Structure 1
Amino acid sequence: MKKLRDYEIGIAKLSNKQHLYEFELDDSFFDLFVKDIILGGNLVAQVELDKTESLLTFRMGIKGHVRLTCDRSLDEFDYPVDVQATFRVKYGEENAELDDDLWQITPNTQAINIAQHLYDYIGLAVPMKKLHPRFVADADEEDDNDQDILIYSSRNQATEGEDGEDDDDDEVDPRWDALRNLN
């Protein structure tokens, strides 16, 4: 059984250059997190760490598949994932998350655990509407049909002139005149 500690990268003793790491993300990795969206999976994460005096740049490439539950049929299915992500860590006076992809750590920090980052980037690759592959063609047809929806407009195109202005020659409903007089 893997532990969160298996995804720590010791940065204190690293030299200022590029370092490569590879992590296998299987069901034991996903067991470390709440299984509300991703049930499991089999992925490989390649992490490139570029360390300088003031900045750590993590470039992650995550490939494989995750196991999801279909929103329509509740069947489990494998969904392919291919993620490229970058986040940076800079040194400062306190530990803080400055932005989604920028963290600040103190200079005496010994290691950085990237497990949560890996899980978050995988979670962002999962679609909002999780459909089993057998339903994907049906969903595409539904999306095409949605383009045929009529939208109500109060402008009557037959009474518009060439310049887009309404022609006042046509008879107007007297209720509209009463409303215009309210101003």
Structure 2
Amino acid sequence: MKKDSQYDINIARLADKTHHFAFDLDRSFFELFDQELIPDGSVHADITLTKTERLITVDFDLRGTVRQVCDRSLDDYDQKIDAQEQLLVRFGEETQELDDNVLQITPDTQTLPLAQHLFDYIGLALPMKKLHPRFQNEPDENPDADATLIFTTRKEGEDDSDDDDTDPRWNALKNLN
């Protein structure tokens, strides 16, 4: 990612209260990242930052569309984005990412860079299967695809009760109650 301070928030100057920020993310934002996942888009990000003495809570509300390529037809289409995420920033001895949504920074940190978090949250809001809207209402070719039996040890035509093939020693052990 290229460095761009327009998506940084100067937290050193903020008072301990709730603050609101807004960013409009367009092609120039997505070009900051060396990637092909999202080539273009128009996303409005409303950010609510609540700063306290020990913790900063950043709530993201992302709405808009991003340009995607359909997995089936390879046609471009606009994918709707509507996501709400939360980032917790706590103060500690060193700067590190503790979890996906928990960040630790030092108390003398001046700015909080949000560009990577904005991009990641938009990426997480994308569906795994990218389908052009004209394909989204089509039924699957095989609606029971998830319930298809892949492997079994039973031979076709065998009965579920396998008492006939059971070793007689196991039958004797079953009667030891």
Instruction: Quickly name the TM-score band, shorter chain normalised.
Output: 0.7 to 0.9
Distance 2:134 2:67 in 1: 15
Distance 2:94 2:149 in 1: 56
Deviation at 1:136, TM superposition (A): 2.1
Query: In structure 1, what is the equivalent of residue 148 of structure 2?
Result: 149
Q: Which amino acid aligns with 1:32?
A: L
For 2:143, what is the secondary structure of its paired residue? helix
Structure 2 length-normalised TM: 0.83
Q: Which amino acid aligns with 2:117?
A: H
Preserved CA contact (<8 Å) 1:65 1:78: yes
Q: Which amino acid aligns with 1:72?
A: R
Deviation at 1:142, TM superposition (A): 2.7
Structure 1 length-normalised TM: 0.80
Distance 1:115 1:27 in 2: 13
Query: In structure 2, what is the equivalent of residue 133 of structure 1?
Result: 133
Larger-gyration structure (1/2): 1
CA deviations 1:40-96 (Å, max 9, x no partner) are 111100000000001000000000010001122221100000010001111111111
Name the one with the larger helix percent. Answer: 1
Query: In structure 2, what is the equivalent of residue 32 of structure 1?
Result: 32
Query: Quick one: structure 1 residues 81 and 159, their matched pair in 2 at CA, closer, same or farther if it must change by over 3 Å?
Result: same
Q: Which amino acid aligns with 1:115?
A: A
Distance 2:141 2:104 in 1: 46
Distance 2:13 2:70 in 1: 45
Distance 2:127 2:142 in 1: 15
CA deviations 1:105-145 (Å, max 9, x no partner) are 1111101110100000000111222111122234x323515
Q: Does 1:89 align with 2:89?
A: yes
Query: In structure 2, what is the equivalent of residue 107 of structure 1?
Result: 107
Distance 2:4 2:142 in 1: 41
Distance 2:146 2:23 in 1: 44
- CA RMSD, 1 decimal: 2.4
Query: In structure 1, what is the equivalent of residue 175 of structure 2?
Result: none
CA deviations 1:128-182 (Å, max 9, x no partner) are 22111122234x323515257355541778744xxxx4343xxx6xxx99xxxxx
Structure 2: gaps spanning 5 or more residues:
168-177
Query: Quick one: structure 1 residues 166 and 86, their matched pair in 2 at CA, closer, same or farther if it must change by over 3 Å?
Result: same
For 1:119, what is the secondary structure of its paired residue? helix
Query: In structure 1, what is the equivalent of residue 58 of structure 2?
Result: 58
